[in-house]
């Protein structure tokens, strides 16, 4: 009998650590995410996605903006996965590069705008939880993730554009 009781306790112990993690996440992450997501998506609803179309269309002409401003606007306003529909503003030969840039931004965006990819928050949140545990502020990581994200999508856009052009020949 005692053995069975000990086994049962051990079994429950196995999940207590998980329960503690769960509670820490629910209380530490969810309240802020809920309020932030609600605020940002309200603002975006008030601005309206139609209003960014013309800006996006103009910005597709130049390499520098095609792989920065266009995907950023697309991801923030249309969110994952509808952001890829902005590809229709882009010339055919740039579409794979544009997709690469847009999809590479759906995680760097989540530090500041979690509404844009609410289903995949934990790429950032998982690592951020560790920073949180150390008692360090998250703002700096979020900003740097966002900024490096912009540089990386520009680079991905340019490299993929060149590779696609080479393959097409």
Partner 1 sequence: MYKSILITKGKSGWGGPLTITPTEKCHKILCVTGGGIHPVAQKIAEMTGGEAVDGFSTGAPDDEVMVAVVDCGGTARCGVYPKKGIFTVNLTPVGKSGPLANFITEDIYVSDVKESCIQFADESAINANPAPTKKSPSDTAKTKAQARAELAAMNNGRKKNIVTRLGIGVGSVVNKFYQAGRETIEMVMKNILPFMAFVSMILGIISASGIGNVIAHTLSPLASTLPGMIGISIVCALPFISPVLGPGAVIAQVVGSLLGVEIGLGHIPPQYALPALFAINAQVGADFVPVGLSLGEAEPETIELGVPAVLYSRLITGPAAVIIAYLFSMGLYS
Q: Scanning residues 107 to 146, which ones bind partner 1 (CB under 8 A)?
A: 107-108, 115, 118-134, 136, 140-141, 144-145
Of 1 and 168, which CB lies nearer to partner 1 in the complex structure? 168
Nearest-angstrom CA–CA distance, 69 and 58: 10
Angle between helices 69-78 and 95-103 (to 10 degrees): 60
Decide whether 8 or 26 has the Cβ nearer to partner 1: 26
Dihedrals phi, psi of 95, to nearest 5 degrees: -60, -45
Position among 102, 109, 113, 116 found at the interface with partner 1 (CB under 8 A): 102
- Residue 160 interacts with partner 1 (CB under 8 A)? yes
Q: How far apart are CA 159 and CA 166, in angstroms?
A: 11
Taking the least distance from each CB to partner 1, the nearer of 63 and 95 is 95
Minimum CB separation from partner 1 for residue 15, in Å? 6
Distances (CA, A) of 36 to 32, 41, 132, 143: 6, 8, 17, 15
Q: What residues between 40 and 69 interact with partner 1 by CB under 8 A?
A: 41-42, 45-46
The tokens 């629910």 sit on which residue?
Answer: 26
Does residue number 155 form part of the binding site for partner 1 (CB under 8 A)? yes
């Amino acid at each position: 009998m005692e053995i069975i009781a000990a086994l049962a306790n051990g079994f429950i112990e196995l999940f207590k650590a998980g329960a503690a993690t769960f509670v820490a996440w629910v209380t530490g992450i969810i309240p802020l995410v809920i309020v932030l997501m609600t605020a940002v998506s309200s603002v975006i609803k008030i601005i309206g996605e139609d209003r960014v179309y013309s800006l996006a269309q103009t910005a597709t002409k130049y390499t520098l903006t095609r792989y920065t401003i266009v995907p950023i606007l697309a991801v923030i306003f249309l969110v994952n996965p509808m952001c890829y529909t902005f590809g229709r503003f882009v010339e055919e030969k740039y579409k794979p590069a544009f997709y690469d840039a847009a999809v590479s931004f759906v995680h760097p965006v989540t530090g500041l705008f979690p509404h844009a990819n609410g289903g995949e928050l934990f790429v950032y949140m998982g690592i951020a939880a560790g920073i949180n545990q150390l008692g360090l502020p998250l703002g700096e990581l979020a900003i740097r993730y966002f900024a490096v994200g912009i540089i990386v999508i520009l680079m991905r856009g340019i490299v993929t554009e060149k590779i696609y052009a080479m393959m097409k020949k």
